[in-house]
Structure 1
């Protein structure tokens, strides 16, 4: 990797850790998710700073678009995908104005995803898998690099668990544990000290180059044999990894190498 790009990226990672206390492992995982163009799911109580962290990651990428939304059973598709274009509707064309909505984002955060209706979840599938959106008669390519969702509790319904398989990285986000972190947070809240700003560190072109670096990480046969053995052991213990997830894990691990330098 180019030394200048490596320095920029590691400065970005350090800035995220300075602004988000006790989130180092989650930050590393989310960056690896972004570099492998995959999706993540954050499990944790409200008030743990999940959406704030995703916004910070997006804000650190110059000219990137962020979309965030809290879903409910009554969430209408237009709230996520944009309103129907009325002028085109008059010409018998049913399309949505997606600018400023999920299909136009580079990074998205969908809070309480599983509270959305089955129609909403079904509409999300192509965005999660292929990064495309069916807009009327046209299928459009979206700029989405990663979708991060969140929930307070993992669903028990089998259909929703299958939907959750689209999200590779699924960490638990806890409240702050260290007294020093809590004291620092209190200082930020009271204005005694200023919370560090993440700032802009990389461009979309930088992100593309980092993603290419992840793709080009070399994996030897010995590693693949060990990887396969681990998955076989899991399967023998009743933990089956789908073929889709197997591929996702390999891409994620290669991206993790780039993140950790």
Structure 2
């Protein structure tokens, strides 16, 4: 068990009336308890925090008038994942994959798994099925991609990242997800906060469906699995942006802080966060 203190601040210059939806609040799951949460918006607006997706994730929504807007979020998140022996976590045969998990086998905007079947099979096809194969994918991505901010943008998909062998956390996650799906392993993108991320920002990692649950992996290698706090998930980063708005506004500044607080057990081999 561990507790992380998270905070995020953003400053916008709004040029016309704008409607915002932010995905920055920590998710409520059976393995993640949120406390001491505070949201401050200046100037004051009428806001709502509403569940979406699997009802464990939340959207902060409000409308704002032209001018400067400051948003501040902070919370303490206690993480209590279920440890699992990796040797017990097998891949699920296609015919037994639950219907709600099936979408995470398909290619998506940033995860072009349909183009990587031969590539994934050459690299990982001979490995034993299960947690070990997903970990091998994760390790390969960490070893073969350079973490380099600024070399990718909102249009960069998995094939782009593999060609230049560089990117940021979301790109590492997208490549890992694509390789998993190409091998028939359901995988999904997770946005969140991570202790040790450098430079610190909203973090992107992924989950693979093994046995009968979802298990976390961080292909950047920056954060221990039991020091990752989830915000939301989706097929890829397009489903889990930290901010969406309709109107005209410029992001002037953004800061994210994640600090460890309280006692930490030894890092588990895998952590259930379903």
Question: Would you tell me which structure has more strand in proportion to its own residues?
Answer: 2
Larger Rg: 1
TM-score normalised by length of structure 2: 0.26
Normalised by the length of structure 1, the TM-score is 0.27
Question: More helix by proportion, 1 or 2?
Answer: 1
